[in-house]
Amino acid sequence: MGSTTRKTQVAGQKPVSAIKPNTTAGAVIPLKKYLEKYALAPSTSPPVSADKLIPPSGTTLPPNVKSTHVPISLWPLTNNGLSSFYAGVFDDEMHFSASVLKVAALFAAGQFHAEATAFAQGYTDWNKFVTDFNADLKTRINPTTVDSHILSAGFFLLPQTQTILKQSAFPTIAFADNAGGFQERAGRMIVESDDPSAAICIRALGYGYINMALRQANFYSSFTSPGIWLAGTYDKADKLKKVRIPCVNDHPDAQVTTSRLMCLMTAMIRLGQLPQNDAGANALMQGWLHEPKSGPDATGPWLGAGRDNTIAPKFTIVHDKIGFAGLGDDEVPNVYSEALIIKWTTAAQLAAFNKTIDPTDTHPEIHLSEEIAVCWQNYLWPLMPSPRNFDGIIDVINNSISDFLQQTPT
């Protein structure tokens, strides 16, 4: 045999050669097509959804308004994961989203719980565990894992393990559940969107740990790339202890995200994928995000009842975190945002769509479940003509998802 002849790699190719051909199951008109139609299309008569999303022409925009883009991300879910039918508009733009970023703090708390649980294996002594775990965290939070702006600012870099975790539960890892403790504060941060509670949780977790956790989970890569950024406590007393990142809709801010990544984070929490390998922490997180929230100070969704919305949503709300705050130093006007999981209520549309993508009903893993992860941002509600409500967002979601499921000709 000639020495120049390469040996064929038959054994190595077997898995690839056995893959079946593509089917026409994925040949659907993309959700993005419909989302763009309803969220971006120019005005027609009668007015389309897009007209309800941005201030009418002629509106004098306050000096703080830097963008009228309303980023929207929609991610239909399957029973076990993310579907391949994601769609977004302006979805890679970094926007200030105020309290929606409390979801990122919640994520970091879950990651901390999971990491502590893994680290605690083999430990029987609390003090020894705390010493070693803190030493490990201190080593890991470094310039290769944490953004340099956060490190150089030097605020709240390291987690306060003894504040976050419950000593008496050890060697089981649990959040401190004393009155006013971390667990209660984390719950109030989400259920009530309570700023003082958020501040306690974020200080305890630390900007350094939060950023490292976001980076490790691919929600953040660099200061100049789209990502999720949380380096502020929501406490005005910490106003000078924020680390700010540039964004599209405001001056540099400490609570910034893209709709795509916040939509993904919300979806992964709902799917039980965040944190990894810690179902207990995930259950707590889902419990706090769940709708309807309970308690006298619980928040309600912007897209839900009681917000003067006049368009009936074609969905119910399963998880929700709202956000609103003022732009600029004088905090005018307010911008609104939301990350949520919705549940589509027209089962017949879902069944028809699943039949389209799986005509032989042999791939249940690709079937859409009823749930869709949603994130929208930078809605300048105060600049809308009356009645001021969230009809524009509801309209876009109603029409985009409905047309997509029905594959309405575009």
Residue closer to another protein, measured from CB, 11 or 179: 11
Residue closer to another protein, measured from CB, 33 or 290: 33
Q: How far is the CB of 138 from another protein (least distance, A)?
A: 29
Q: How far is the CB of 387 from another protein (least distance, A)?
A: 35
Residue closer to another protein, measured from CB, 142 or 410: 410
User: Considering CB under 8 A, how many residues would be counted as binding another protein?
Assistant: 35
Residue closer to another protein, measured from CB, 85 or 96: 85
Q: How far is the CB of 83 from another protein (least distance, A)?
A: 11
Q: How far is CA 309 from CA 305, 383, 392, in A?
A: 7, 16, 9
Alpha carbon 148 to its chain centroid, in Å, reads 24
Q: How wide is the angle at C-alpha 309 spanned by C-alphas 305 and 315, nearest 5°?
A: 60
SS3 310: coil
Q: Taking CB under 8 A as the rule, which mask of x and - marks residues 71-90 in contact with another protein?
A: -------------x------
CB 336 within 8 A of CB 379: yes
Footprint (CB under 8 A) of another protein, residues 46-65: none
Residue closer to another protein, measured from CB, 2 or 296: 2
Peptide bond into 171 cis (omega under 30): yes
Q: How far is the CB of 216 from another protein (least distance, A)?
A: 16
Footprint (CB under 8 A) of another protein, residues 5-44: 5-30, 32-33
Residue closer to another protein, measured from CB, 32 or 102: 32
CB 153 within 8 A of CB 243: yes
Q: Where are the alpha helices (DSSP H) in 3-141?
A: 10-17, 31-40, 102-119, 126-140
CA distance 57 to 40: 15
**CA quadruple 305, 298, 272, 375: dihedral positive or negative?**
positive
CA distance 200 to 187: 12
Name the phi and psi angles at 20, rounded to 5.
-75, 155
Q: How far is the CB of 263 from another protein (least distance, A)?
A: 19
Residue 362 makes contact with another protein by CB under 8 A: no
CA distance 64 to 329: 8
Q: Which of 167, 222, 277, 410 binds another protein (CB under 8 A)?
A: 410
Q: Taking CB under 8 A as the rule, which mask of x and - marks residues 365-404 in contact with another protein?
A: -x--------------------------------------
Residue closer to another protein, measured from CB, 43 or 410: 410
Residues in the site for another protein, rule: CB under 8 A?
1-2, 4-30, 32-33, 84, 366, 409-410
